[in-house]
Amino acid sequence: MPTVAIIGALDEEVELIAHSLDGVEHMARSSQASLDVVSGTLRKDDGSSVRVVATVGGMGTVNAAATSQHLIDVYAPDALIFSGIAGNLNPALHINDVVLGGTLRYLDSDMRLIGQFAPQTEEFHSDEHLLDVADHALSQMDIKHIVGIIASGDYFVDTVEKTQQVIRETGADAVEMEGAAVAHVAARNHVPALVIRALSDNADTDYEVFKEFDISEYANTAARLVIRILAQL
């Protein structure tokens, strides 16, 4: 049975996925990594099953990287999926549209230095097969989406000045705090990865205001897509 590891940064990004699994158990061996990993199975469209391990990794690139490496080391997944929300930078997109991370770039790192080490690249990419499955699933769900560029960094983008800087430096369609780190660790370990982002705002809201928002609708858009992808793998 294949295993797929799923990460979200926030509780809302993983809750629906966890509730969709059969035979759920909490994995005690992940408590050492300060993670509550749930494991269960999901029935695929062809009648077979896929094992899923899912967890909330926390916000930021270090949390995302540490969580990704732990899941790879302990559960040996055949694929790694990050599901969650992001700020929109593309004027052709709107709230609750989806950006699939065809390309993932750091927005606050000098990759001329970091890129000298494995996997020796300055940007990262979601797996082509996983992108194809996600694209097909999104079309079935009638959700507007693109395969685009996602920028990741360790600060909250919430002003016009910051959004313009991110667009100028990365050409991104969406901005968030984890995707590039997940794709980076996955590439270093030769594990196929996919980053999914449902757009929750236009990267123009102060964090103290944003944190009061109910993001469940947008997080669930990405989570429903993950469930459809798992069913069609």
DSSP string, 12-47: HHHHHHHHT-EEEEEEGGGGGGT--EEEEEEE-TTS
pLDDT of 27-51, one tens digit each? 999 999 999 999 999 999 999 999 9
Confidence of residue 158 (pLDDT cuts 50, 70, 90): confident
Counting residues of the chain whose pLDDT is more than 70, the rounded percentage is: 100
User: What per-residue confidence (pLDDT) applies to 23?
Assistant: 97
Q: State whether the Cα torsion 93-15-79-65 is positive or negative.
A: positive
Active site residues per annotation? 13, 201
Cβ pair 149, 100 in contact under 8 A: no
Average confidence score pLDDT of the chain: 94
Give the least confident one: 70-79, 149-158, 178-187. Answer: 149-158
Task: Write out the two tokens for 81.
Answer: 């999926």
Could you name the CATH architecture of 3-232?
3-Layer(aba) Sandwich (3.40)
Please report, in angstroms and rounded to a whole number, the separation of the first and last CA atoms in the chain.
Answer: 12
Residue 206 has pLDDT above 90, yes or no: no
Of 63-72, 94-103, 106-115, 125-134, minimum mean pLDDT range? 106-115
Side chain identity at residue 211, one-letter code? K
pLDDT score of 52:
97
Nearest Cα to 179, choosing from 124, 130, 223? Answer: 124
Nearest to 37 by CA among 67, 61, 13: 67
C-beta of residue 79 within 8 angstroms of C-beta of residue 182 = no
Predicted confidence (pLDDT) at residue 216 exceeds the cutoff of 90: no
Q: What is the pLDDT of residues 52-65, one digit of tens each?
A: 999 999 999 999 99
pLDDT band of residue 170 (cuts 50, 70, 90) is very high
**In one letter, which amino acid is 199?**
L
What local confidence, expressed as pLDDT, does residue 150 receive?
98
* Tokens standing for residue 130: 């996983």
125 closest CA partner among 200, 191, 222: 191
The predicted model scores a pTM of: 0.94
- 105 closest CA partner among 176, 44, 51: 176
| 119 upstream amide cis, omega within 30 of 0 | yes
